Each structure stands twice: as structure tokens, then as C-alpha cells.
């Protein structure tokens, strides 16, 4: 688990800068064109039916995919990652692109894929704007739900990290990995960099466990 075999010459700050330069908002119907989060978004999957939609795929492998997306007049793309060689082209696209994992060959996170797939065919809004300091903003996908969805009301406010909650890691070496919190030490712990930080013990698939800084976690559910 972790970064795998990808080569990534760009930092997380490069990814944020890319999203900022190619940010903005787009609205359209969610259209998942791959049958799994690991499947690359190929040019042949983007046809006339993708016109005006927000296309979802696992990973953007080449320029042909982006050229076909421009030709089909999609309104936005959501993918796990993209080849680092595509950075200049991504910056010039006429629509926003959100890479949930960054540059490389990482798939779309499984919980994100399942959520988007479950809402395929719904109207959604893609917001690629970011702000990395002070009042932090991150790219987001907003899916309005109608009254017919009959979902239970939840209390407003932030949800705390707790043992048993499912999380996703947003930084290397476990970038994109999903796991479950098994323990939350009360006191800061020394991490590999030598800093003392609040951490969580996380169990990943395959029973692998790791101590991950709390700041590198986001709740899945």
C-alpha cells in the first residue's frame, strides 16, 4: 500500500496550484465512464453522450483523453490522478479538472468512486477553486439531493475523529489509502520527520497498520 510504482516530479503544492489555475465551477450530469476506480479514462470512452456532462474516470493517462474531452465538450472531469507529463495541457483546458489523488497513476479512491457511481445521472456542481492558507478551501463536488431521497437529518457541525471511523489519507506514503481508526493516542507522538504530532493508528486492507498524523486524515463516513 502507498505510492506504488508511480513517478511523480510534482509536489502537493503543484497539484493545488494546478487546480487554482484551472479552477472555476462547472455544472452538469455526473457520468461515470469506467467500471472501476482503477480503470483509466480512455479517449474511446468519451463520446457524444458525454456532451455537457461531468465525466468520471480512474486516471487520465494521455493527451488523447483530454483532446477527446475538449472535442466532446464535457463540462468537467473528476479522476484519481493524471500523468505528470499532462500538467501543461491540464492548465490550458476550458473546463475544470479535479484530481483526488494528484499526479501519478493512482486510481480514484474507492469510496469516492462508489459515491459518484451511486449518483450517476444526477445534476452536480464541480468547484475547482482552492485556497491553501488561512480560510482553507478545497475542490469539491456538490450533488443536490431531492426531498424524495428521504435521508435522515444529521446534526450540524464537524464530525470528530473516533476509533472505528473510516478515513482516507491525503498525504504520502499512504496517499489515497482508505482505512479504519483503531486507536487515538491522547498525547503527541514522534513521527519519522522527528516532529511530535497528534496521530491515529490506522488499519488498512490486508491488516497493515500505521501511525498517521491526524492532519493527514479526512473522514470518509
Asked if pLDDT for residue 1 goes beyond 50, the answer is no
Q: Are 43 and 75 in a shared domain?
A: yes
Distance of alpha carbon 113 from alpha carbon 161, whole angstroms: 23
Q: Are 36 and 107 in a shared domain?
A: yes
- For residue 198, is it within any domain? yes
Q: Are 34 and 137 in a shared domain?
A: yes
Asked if pLDDT for residue 198 goes beyond 60, the answer is yes
Read off the pLDDT of each residue in 23-31 and give the average, rounded to a whole number: 86
Q: Are 114 and 210 in a shared domain?
A: no
- For residue 156, is it within any domain? no
- For residue 2, is it within any domain? no
Q: For the chain, what percent of residues have pLDDT higher than 70?
A: 78
What residue numbers bound the domain in which 138 lies? 12-145
Determine the pLDDT at residue 72: 96
Question: Could you give the C-alpha distances from 66 to 44, 56, 70, 73, 104, in angstroms and in order?
Answer: 11, 13, 6, 10, 16
Q: Are the beta carbons of 101 and 176 closer than 8 angstroms?
A: yes
Report residue 20's pLDDT band, with 50, 70 and 90 as the boundaries: very low
Lowest mean pLDDT among 8-12, 122-126, 177-181: 8-12
Q: Are 133 and 24 in a shared domain?
A: yes
Lowest mean pLDDT among 5-9, 65-69, 126-130: 5-9
Q: Are 197 and 119 in a shared domain?
A: no
User: For the range 150-159, what are the long-range contacts, defined as Cβ-Cβ under 8 Å and sequence gap of 24 or more?
Assistant: 159/219
Read off the pLDDT of each residue in 87-101 and give the average, rounded to a whole number: 90
Q: Are the beta carbons of 25 and 128 closer than 8 angstroms?
A: yes
Enter the pTM of the model: 0.71
- For residue 212, is it within any domain? yes
- For residue 132, is it within any domain? yes
Residue 57's SS3 state is strand
Q: For all residues of the chain together, what is the average pLDDT? A: 82
- For residue 159, is it within any domain? no
Strand partners, 97: 77
Determine the pLDDT at residue 4: 38
Determine the pLDDT at residue 172: 83
How do 209-213 and 199-204 pair as beta strands?
antiparallel
Residue 156, sorted as left (phi over 0), alpha (psi -120 to 50) or beta, turns out to be beta
Burial of 151 (0-12, 13-18, 19+ CB in 10 A): exposed
Q: Are 28 and 136 in a shared domain?
A: yes
Buried b (16+ CB within 10 A) or exposed e, 104-131: bbbbbbbebbeebbebeeeebbbbbebe
Q: Are 90 and 136 in a shared domain?
A: yes
Determine the pLDDT at residue 173: 87
Q: Are 93 and 184 in a shared domain?
A: no
Q: Are 119 and 25 in a shared domain?
A: yes
Q: How many domains does the chain have?
A: 2
**Is 200 or 133 the better-scoring residue by pLDDT?**
200
Residue 84, sorted as left (phi over 0), alpha (psi -120 to 50) or beta, turns out to be alpha
* Chain segment 40-51, per-residue pLDDT in tens: 999 999 999 999
Is the N-terminal amide bond of 36 cis, ω within 30° of 0? no
* Chain segment 64-87, per-residue pLDDT in tens: 999 999 999 999 999 999 988 999
Asked if pLDDT for residue 140 goes beyond 70, the answer is yes
- For residue 76, is it within any domain? yes
CATH (domain of 215)? 2.30.30
CATH (domain of 27)? 3.50.30
Q: Are 49 and 129 in a shared domain?
A: yes
- For residue 79, is it within any domain? yes
Asked if pLDDT for residue 154 goes beyond 70, the answer is no
Amino acid at each position: 500500500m502507498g505510492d506504488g510504482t508511480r513517478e511523480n516530479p510534482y509536489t502537493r503544492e503543484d497539484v493545488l496550484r494546478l487546480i487554482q489555475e484551472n479552477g472555476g465551477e462547472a455544472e452538469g450530469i455526473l457520468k461515470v465512464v469506467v467500471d472501476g476506480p482503477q480503470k483509466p479514462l480512455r479517449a474511446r470512452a468519451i463520446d457524444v453522450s458525454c456532451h455537457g456532462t461531468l465525466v468520471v474516470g480512474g486516471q487520465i493517462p494521455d493527451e488523447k483523453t483530454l483532446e477527446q474531452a475538449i472535442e466532446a465538450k464535457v463540462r468537467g472531469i473528476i479522476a484519481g490522478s493524471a500523468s505528470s507529463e499532462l500538467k501543461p495541457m491540464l492548465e490550458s483546458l476550458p473546463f475544470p479538472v479535479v484530481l483526488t489523488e494528484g499526479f501519478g497513476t493512482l486510481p480514484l479512491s474507492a469510496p469516492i468512486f462508489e459515491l459518484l457511481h451511486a449518483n450517476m445521472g444526477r445534476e452536480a456542481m464541480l468547484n475547482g477553486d482552492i485556497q491553501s492558507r488561512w480560510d482553507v478551501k478545497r475542490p469539491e463536488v456538490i450533488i443536490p439531493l431531492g426531498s424524495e431521497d428521504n435521508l435522515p437529518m444529521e446534526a450540524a457541525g464537524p464530525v470528530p475523529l473516533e476509533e472505528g471511523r473510516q478515513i482516507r489519507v491525503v498525504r504520502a506514503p499512504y496517499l489515497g489509502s482508505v482505512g479504519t481508526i483503531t486507536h487515538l493516542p491522547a498525547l503527541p507522538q514522534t513521527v519519522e520527520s522527528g516532529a511530535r504530532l497528534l496521530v491515529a493508528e490506522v488499519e488498512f486492507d490486508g491488516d497493515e497498520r500505521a501511525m498517521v498524523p491526524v492532519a493527514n486524515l479526512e473522514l470518509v463516513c
